[in-house]
């Protein structure tokens, strides 16, 4: 089993720096995939209400034979649930959505609960955040954070709320390294977590410069990219349903990217997103 470092969050909690994501994994496949991940050594599992696999994920956690306190489980609040996220109705909707997620997972608590998208055009994310932070009081949520928030939304939370998000989960990979956002978050004690840390569609994994680095170290390109995340201080949550790939993704100890490697990886950045722009994304 590889030794994966942990990141200490701003509330003192620790999260493994390399976790297992289940985006686009059907519910029936989530159980064997998550079970294989836990058996391989993953201790952080990331799901979301919109993924529709919280039941399968929770079943795997129940079957894993690993003490619950050794696992770090994240899920996320989806955009729907009410037409109006403002006022008390919005906060009640947050609690209802959380209760549904917790029930599907079959857990007494989750380690991290995130707002999935900010939807800034509605002007309600601050109220949603207040609803999320209220969940901390009864202990069924250990930490709260956000996903896909930009600097303007984070500035609002920092100004208006007494609770600072422990992390922001965003699209981040060598093509789209998000350096400005990462710098801002580091200044304010907000950890950065990467979704799609390996990009999508395989283009990144065929990038010639990355292939050269992989050959130099006798590693796969996937391992090189995940090593880049770790050395950058970023939390990464790759996903796979193939047991051999699940194990491969975890095996990123035992080698170090040098300055030349890091410069070459920086050189492949395009600044182009794969996913939607959070500032305009409004899917319900």
Using CA atoms, how far apart are residues 23 and 50, in angstroms rounded to an integer?
A: 9
175 is catalytic: no
Using CA atoms, how far apart are residues 256 and 159, in angstroms rounded to an integer?
A: 39
Given 51, 72, 113, 175, the catalytic residue: 51
* Residue positions counted in the chain: 284
**What is the phi/psi pair of residue 236, to 5°?**
-125, 145
In sequence order, the 6+-apart residues with CB closer than 8 A to the CB of 200 are: 274, 275
Q: Which residue has the tokens 């620790």?
A: 14
Alpha helices, H only, the chain: 27-40, 54-63, 87-105, 125-134, 151-160, 179-187, 208-217, 221-231, 243-250, 259-266
Number of Cβ within 10 Å of residue 254's Cβ equals 11
Q: Which residues are catalytic?
A: 51
């Amino acid at each position: 089993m590889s030794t994966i470092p942990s990141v200490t969050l701003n509330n003192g909690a620790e999260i493994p720096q390399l976790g297992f994501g289940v985006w686009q994994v059907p519910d029936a496949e989530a159980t064997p995939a998550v079970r294989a991940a836990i058996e391989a050594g993953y201790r952080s599992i990331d799901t979301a209400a919109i993924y529709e696999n919280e039941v399968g994920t929770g079943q795997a956690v129940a079957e894993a034979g690993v003490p619950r306190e050794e696992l770090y489980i994240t899920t996320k609040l989806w955009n729907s649930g009410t037409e109006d996220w403002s006022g008390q109705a919005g906060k009640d909707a947050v609690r209802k959505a959380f209760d549904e997620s917790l029930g599907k997972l079959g857990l007494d608590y989750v380690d991290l609960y995130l707002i999935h998208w900010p939807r800034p055009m509605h002007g309600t994310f601050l109220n949603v955040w207040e609803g999320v932070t209220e969940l901390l009081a009864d202990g069924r949520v250990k930490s709260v954070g956000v996903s896909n928030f930009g600097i303007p939304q984070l500035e609002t939370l920092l100004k208006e709320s007494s609770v600072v998000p422990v992390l922001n989960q965003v699209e981040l990979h060598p093509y789209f390294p998000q350096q400005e956002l990462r710098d801002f978050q580091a200044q304010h004690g907000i950890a950065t977590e990467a979704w799609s840390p390996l990009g999508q569609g395989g283009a990144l994994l065929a990038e010639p410069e990355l292939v050269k680095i992989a050959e130099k170290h006798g590693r796969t390109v996937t391992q090189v990219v995940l090593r880049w995340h770790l050395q950058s201080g970023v939390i990464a949550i790759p996903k796979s349903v193939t047991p051999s790939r699940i194990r491969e993704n975890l095996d990123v100890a035992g080698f170090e990217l040098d300055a030349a490697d890091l410069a070459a990886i920086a050189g492949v950045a395009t600044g182009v997103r794969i996913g939607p722009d959070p500032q305009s994304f409004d899917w319900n």
